[in-house]
Amino acid sequence: MGKPTGFIEIERKTIPDRAPLDRVKDWKEIHEHRCDDAVKKQGARCMDCGTPYCHTGMTLAGMASGCPINNLIPEFNDLVYKGRWEEALQRLRKTNNFPEFTGRVCPAPCEGSCVLGVISPPVTIKNIECSIIDRGWEEGWMKPKQPLQRTGKRVAVIGSGPSGLACADELNKVGHTVTVYERADRIGGLLMYGIPNMKLDKVEIVDRRVNLMREEGVTFITGAHVGVNYPITEIRAQYDAIVLCCGATKPRDLPIPGRNFKGVHFAMDFLTVNTKTILDNGMNDSACPIHAKGKNVIVIGGGDTGTDCVGTSLRHGCNSVAQLEIMPKPPVERAANNPWPEWPKVYKMDYGQEEASAIQGSDPRQYLVTTKRFLDDGKGNLKGVEIADIEWVKDENGRMVTKEKPGTVRVLPAELALLAMGFLGPEQTLIEKLGLDTDNRSNVKAEYGDYQTSIEGIFSAGDMRRGQSLVVWAINEGRGAARECDRFLMGTTQLKG
């Protein structure tokens, strides 16, 4: 603990984002550049707790509490405060393969369980983590490091999202020859096409890390939709082990009248084609097949994906945007049934809502709303969304269900509706072709900590195994699957997972 009174003397201050009205004009990252001196001061606020809940990685009330990859947070906070940045980077890389990703897109469950947060705003852990890795790249400390020798074992990792990349990185470190298969035209999975460029720059951040992994010996093959245009039989014949990291990409639909009208799309389809368009056309979105310019946009769903749809629509130049949420508005402070160190379910505006508020004058979210049907113009083109207010009540079995409030039905104008209601699980094509067992949620059946599927030598990790979750959980699982795959191949392992 570098400064015992730091948490008393120094107030929490995060690295600011660019002004909303400026950043909506481009696709660049929303974050301002860090100030190292300011970050050092924030590191001084860490209390070096006797029991540092920030890195415990527990699940409480169904949500992450503390860092799922067990980052040694008090240690790197102290090193940053003392100006020992390179040592802080070494400490961070012991547990986190990709801090430049988590430092930008993770919701920071570590901060939600920071002990200082009981009495005061928590330490800016996420900012500090991102600052460490960004400085590491700037100083040239991130150099390719190939394993001293190869084991002769070959592993195929199918899927190049955060779990697949983490798994490949770990397996390569211990000398296995790793090939990553990705069905899209670029490597990164969710990191490339599921998260917009303004949150995570694809060229400067994602591609930079992928290129480093290439230099370290990992092979990447794009356009390989295994089980569709690339036979799984060939992969099984060529490799000693396979790790499935294909994500949970089956979106939740909304089967209401008018669902098939032109202008109603899954959110991920909208975000994917937009990112591909701007990457293919020099950050110009004008050729995007699904475009929001001049349209009234309705986003159905209140999570991160919905927020990304709001931010993307504003950058397209939409006429208006509203975000519909079936749940009630969270309280400003923790409720009595949401105690520390649980994830704090409190009201806040993310970047998309901040931008919409700056342009439209208020938070675009409407809470406790249900969507009843889509309306068209008589030619099959979306022109409106019929909604109603609801309340949550208990049914005869004691379960919470929705009940429509009489007299609240109304129509919102809309030429574009985006369904951002989460995901139901992994696509089943490859699972069925392999004949893998699945759980009652259609995920690949493999125990956490073991990761081996019902077929020996085939492992699974990330959202494909656990269901829709956080990037940091995907990294946790990718590391764990690599550890168990290495143990399967070699009889023992030095990987920590």
Residue 265 has pLDDT above 80, yes or no: yes
| Mean pLDDT on 223-252 | 97
Residue 65: which of 112, 7, 11, 119 has the closest Cα?
112
CATH class of 253-421: alpha beta
Residue 255 has pLDDT above 90, yes or no: yes
Residue 50 has pLDDT above 90, yes or no: no
Return the pLDDT at 3: 84
Return the pLDDT at 421: 96
Q: Is the dihedral of CA 137, 140, 144, 147 positive or negative?
A: negative
Phi and psi at residue 348, in whole multiples of 5°?
Answer: -160, 155
> Residue 48's pLDDT band (boundaries 50, 70, 90)?
confident
Q: What confidence tens digit (pLDDT) does each residue in 301-349 have?
A: 989 999 999 999 999 999 999 999 999 999 999 999 999 999 999 999 9
Q: What confidence tens digit (pLDDT) does each residue in 466-495 have?
A: 999 999 999 999 999 999 999 999 999 999
Token look-up 């356009």 returns 223
Return the pLDDT at 33: 86
* Alpha helices, H only, 154-200: 162-173
Residue 213: which of 182, 169, 179 has the closest Cα?
169
341: preceding bond cis by omega (within 30 degrees): yes
The shares of helix, strand and coil residues in the chain, as percent rounded to the nearest 5, are 35, 20, 45
Q: What confidence tens digit (pLDDT) does each residue in 114-159 have?
A: 999 999 999 999 999 999 999 999 999 999 999 999 999 999 999 9
Return the pLDDT at 173: 98
Residue 453 has pLDDT above 80, yes or no: yes
Return the pLDDT at 310: 98
| Mean pLDDT on 281-287 | 97
Q: What confidence tens digit (pLDDT) does each residue in 200-214 have?
A: 999 999 999 999 999
| Mean pLDDT on 68-94 | 97
Q: How far apart are CA 255 and CA 234, in angstroms?
A: 39
Examine domains 154-249+424-490 and 253-421 and report if their fold is the same.
yes
Q: How far apart are CA 484 and CA 473, in angstroms?
A: 17
CA dist 173 → 115, 157, 298 (Å) = 35, 15, 46
Identify the burial level of 397 via C-beta atoms within 10 angstroms of its C-beta, where 0-12 means exposed, 13-18 middle and 19 or more buried.
exposed
Q: How far apart are CA 216 and CA 4, in angstroms?
A: 41
Question: Domain 6-139 belongs to what topology?
Answer: Fumarate Reductase Iron-sulfur Protein; Chain B, domain 2 (1.10.1060)
| Mean pLDDT on 257-271 | 98
Return the pLDDT at 274: 98
Residue 2 has pLDDT above 80, yes or no: no
Indicate the pTM of the whole model.
0.96
Cβ atoms within 10 Å, residue 335: 11
CATH class of 154-249+424-490: alpha beta
Hey, where are the domains in the chain?
6-139, 154-249+424-490, 253-421
Residue 306 near residue 420 (C-beta atoms within 8 A): yes
463: helix, strand or coil: helix
Largest pairwise CA distance in the chain: 72
Residue 130 near residue 30 (C-beta atoms within 8 A): no
Average of per-residue pLDDT values in the chain: 96
Q: What confidence tens digit (pLDDT) does each residue in 159-185 have?
A: 999 999 999 999 999 999 999 999 999
Q: How far apart are CA 287 and CA 265, in angstroms?
A: 17
Supply 412's token pair.
Answer: 């919102």
438: helix, strand or coil: strand
> Residue 1's pLDDT band (boundaries 50, 70, 90)?
low
Contacts for 488 with CB less than 8 Å, ≥ 6 apart: 241, 452, 457, 459
